[in-house]
Amino acid sequence: MADVNADWSADSNDAIHISLVTSSVGGTASIHTFNPKFTYSIFGDEESIFGYQGLKINLKYNACDMRPGLQITYNKKFKPVGDIEPTDLKAVLEPFLPKTAFEKSSVFESNISSIPSDWHPPGELFRTIEIGGETFEIWKGNLSDPFVQQTIKRIQILVPFFIEGGTLLDLDESEDDLGRWTVFFLYQKKQSTATFFEKSSSYVFTGFSTVYRYYMYTPTTPPQSPNGDKIAPEFTLPVDGVSFDSLPCRSRISQFMILPPFQNGGKGSIFYNAIFDYLYDDPYTREITVEDPNEAFDDLRDISDFARLRKDARFQQLKLNSSLKINPKGPAPTKLFDTKLYEEIRAQMKIAPRQFARVHEMYLLSLIPAIREASASSRGRGRNFQEVPATPK
């Protein structure tokens, strides 16, 4: 009988090890290994796995095509006592991984060793970039493409692992609905002479992003009914004979991820700007939005959009009108800046109203004169800023 007083619980964040591997002599070689950030959506709010001692869940990914291989090891397993049973790890993980992930290790190693050296990511090459002397490529595809869909199936467990509140895409939707998704993959391109890559693909998966196209109704002048009421047309998408790709849309960035080993090097902002460039050049995208961003992505987005807009001379004209006289007891002025130019720039840059307002506020704050640093010798105080005198009453 199992010792119920022993510690049979394991922290799921610590027990799971995610590795990017490549084919090597005698098996596989690990390039990067890291742990998930969140596991509550899989193992519960306590992020705990019951019934094992010395538990290790090794989720290996072939670094190029992201084929997964799952290996579970432990020192001891709890023997059921009444209704108390150890966590069925396979049953818990099956909804998040393709069936191939549960094959034997020998099958996994055989498959990744057969990847040709000239393998390339799914979709089409969109952009090549250099970061810190390293080469990265951005590939773009559509979720209706079987190869793109296969990659998403393989990596979808990473969404709840690293995006708080992240949910999986519904890959059982109709082809029309899947066709609304554009997927961007970020890959590091290694030199063929680099370690581990002499006989395997030189691509290393770095991150990905998904973008969904929502139809954006843009009314002109709706017809009027006999009683004078305006009537908006009614229809349901998809419309027979009309491709959704040819309709005006609001493109929403749904998921955005850079794997932990590749973070903190500017890759996220470069990846975001590349996606923005693509959507900006898309003649059917009217507005670029983001679905429920977290604080870290908000910061990345704000800084990137601010840097983009500051290059526009017209945006720099959106300063506060300093000639306005403000009545302390009256309403706030309505024309603090050129609102017509403001809306023209916002619409042309395809930035959502709330986001444009945030960036414009950042710009106005940047115009506040910097407070000169007072020297300790002149003030006789160890202060890092100039003390502003109180306003006389």
Do the annotations mark residue 268 as ligand-binding? yes
* Structure tokens that stand for 29 in this block: 């070689």
Do residues 259 and 216 lie in contact, with contact meaning Cβ atoms separated by under 8 Å? no
Do the annotations mark residue 13 as ligand-binding? no
| 234 has catalytic annotation | no
Whole-number Å distance between alpha carbons of 34 and 37? 9
Do the annotations mark residue 267 as ligand-binding? yes
DSSP state of 342: H
Whole-number Å distance between alpha carbons of 22 and 172? 31
Do residues 379 and 365 lie in contact, with contact meaning Cβ atoms separated by under 8 Å? no
What is the b/e burial string over 8-36, where b = at least 16 CB atoms within 10 angstroms of the residue's CB?
bbbebbebbbbbbbbbbeeebeebeeeeb
Do the annotations mark residue 51 as ligand-binding? no
Strand locations in 222-311 (E) = 249-258, 285-290
* Structure tokens that stand for 160 in this block: 């709840």
For residue 213, count other CB atoms closer than 10 A to its CB: 21
User: CA angle, 326 as apex, 325 and 328 as ends, to 5°?
Assistant: 145
* Structure tokens that stand for 93 in this block: 């993980």
Do the annotations mark residue 266 as ligand-binding? yes
Do the annotations mark residue 57 as ligand-binding? no
CA 78 to mean position of chain CA atoms = 38
Residue at token pair 């109709």: 174
CA-to-CA dists, residue 260 to 34, 37, 96, 268, angstroms: 7, 10, 20, 11
For residue 280, count other CB atoms closer than 10 A to its CB: 16
Element (H, E) at 76: strand 76-77
Catalytic-role residue among 46, 164, 291, 373 = 291
Do the annotations mark residue 132 as ligand-binding? no
Do the annotations mark residue 1 as ligand-binding? no
Do the annotations mark residue 255 as ligand-binding? no
List phi, psi (to 5°) of 178.
Answer: -65, -30
Do the annotations mark residue 66 as ligand-binding? no
Nearest alpha-carbon partner for 354 in 284, 292, 310: 292
Q: Look at strands 9-11 and 48-50 and give their pairing.
A: antiparallel
Residue at token pair 């596989």: 28
Secondary structure (H, E, C), 237-283: CCCCCCCHHHCCEEEEEEEEEECHHHCCCCHHHHHHHHHHHHHHHCC
Whole-number Å distance between alpha carbons of 111 and 73? 22
Do the annotations mark residue 54 as ligand-binding? no
Residue ranges of the binding site for acetyl-CoA:
256-258, 263-269, 294
Active-site annotation, residues: 291
